[in-house]
């Protein structure tokens, strides 16, 4: 597996790279994990999402925010500088457990990455992605740290996950997060405490790539087995 840091790149340009890598992996090439930040854009998934857009497209355009229909699973989400997007171009069909296991391992990679920065996170039954745990004595809405949505062509994955890192998650104000009423966005920085700590994006990329390698280098292992090993 190679990890490629694309820096800040327009959504459409990154999608074109994904499709080129998809063809290469389908032909037997090396699996690739793209790591990227996007300029502000709102994306709609195969399950719809426009019904969860809170403003007209003209409002988005006036603020330089893109609106894109994609071929990934899931509903509506958004991307912006300060959010790490990871696109694994991997052979899902070759992995034991198939797409369900693949998705679970992606979640696990994010959970481990969050833990590296002192953030407790995990899964929420019935709601894909990664969520933060309520703090002791805290009563609040569920907070979503990472959204996920993939596509699969001829046994190879593309699209992936979006992990909020920086403190500004205001773009989510324009949408109902993933179409889930009552869900609120959060980020690694926002979860570090009352006085948010600085978290370096390059370090987050390095840690996430490391966790992907740990989980996906041995496809015969289950997520729990890999965590114990």
Which one, of 74, 94, 73, 70, lies nearest residue 1 by Cα?
Answer: 94
- Number of domains composing the chain: 1
**Count of other CB atoms within 10 angstroms of residue 220:** 9
Residues in the chain: 229
What CATH number does residue 192 fall under?
A: 3.30.930.10
Contact call for residues 153 and 130 (beta carbons, < 8 A) = no
Domain that holds residue 185: 2-228
Q: Please give the structure tokens belonging to residue 86.
A: 């990871």
Residues 6+ apart with CB under 8 A from 7: 36, 37
Cα distance between the two ends of the chain: 20
In this prediction the pTM is: 0.90
> Which residues carry out catalysis?
178
For residues 214 and 192, give the distance between their C-alpha atoms in angstroms, rounded to a whole number. 25
Per-residue buried b or exposed e for 173-205, using 16+ beta carbons within 10 Å of the residue's own CB: ebbbbbbbeebebbbbbbbbeeeeeebebeebb
* pLDDT tens digits, one per residue of 172-208: 999 988 677 778 899 999 999 777 789 999 999 999 9
- Tens digits of per-residue pLDDT, 121-177? 999 888 889 999 766 555 567 799 999 999 999 999 999 999 999 999 999 999 988
| Range list of H helices, the chain | 11-26, 57-62, 98-116, 201-216, 223-228
Given a cut of 60, is residue 60 above it in pLDDT? yes
> 181 and 141 in contact (C-beta within 8 Å)?
no
Lowest mean pLDDT, pick from 34-38, 211-215, 222-226:
222-226
- DSSP-assigned letters across all residues of 35-72: EEE-SSEEEEBTTB-GGGB-S-HHHHHHTT-EEEE-SS
- At 48 the pLDDT is 72
């Amino acid at each position: 597996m190679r990890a490629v840091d694309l820096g800040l790149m327009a959504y459409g340009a990154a999608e074109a790279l994904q499709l080129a890598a998809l063809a290469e992996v389908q032909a037997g090439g090396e699996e690739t994990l793209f790591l990227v930040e996007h300029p502000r854009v709102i994306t709609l998934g195969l399950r719809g999402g426009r019904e969860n857009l809170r403003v007209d497209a003209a409002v988005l355009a006036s603020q330089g925010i893109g609106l894109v229909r994609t071929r990934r699973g899931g509903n509506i989400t958004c991307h912006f500088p300060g959010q790490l997007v990871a696109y694994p171009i991997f052979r899902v069909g070759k992995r034991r457990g198939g797409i369900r296991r693949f998705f679970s391992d992606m979640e696990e990679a994010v959970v481990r990455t969050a833990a590296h920065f002192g953030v407790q996170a995990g899964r929420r039954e019935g709601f894909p992605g990664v969520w933060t745990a309520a703090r002791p004595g805290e009563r609040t809405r569920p907070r979503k740290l990472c959204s996920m949505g993939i596509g699969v062509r001829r046994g190879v994955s593309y699209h992936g996950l979006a992990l909020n890192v920086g403190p500004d998650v205001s773009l989510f104000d324009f949408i109902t997060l993933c179409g889930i009423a009552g869900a609120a966005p959060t980020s690694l920085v926002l979860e570090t405490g009352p006085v948010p700590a600085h978290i370096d994006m390059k370090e987050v990329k390095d840690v996430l790539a490391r966790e992907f390698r740990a989980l996906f280098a041995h496809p015969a292992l289950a997520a729990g087995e890999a965590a114990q090993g």
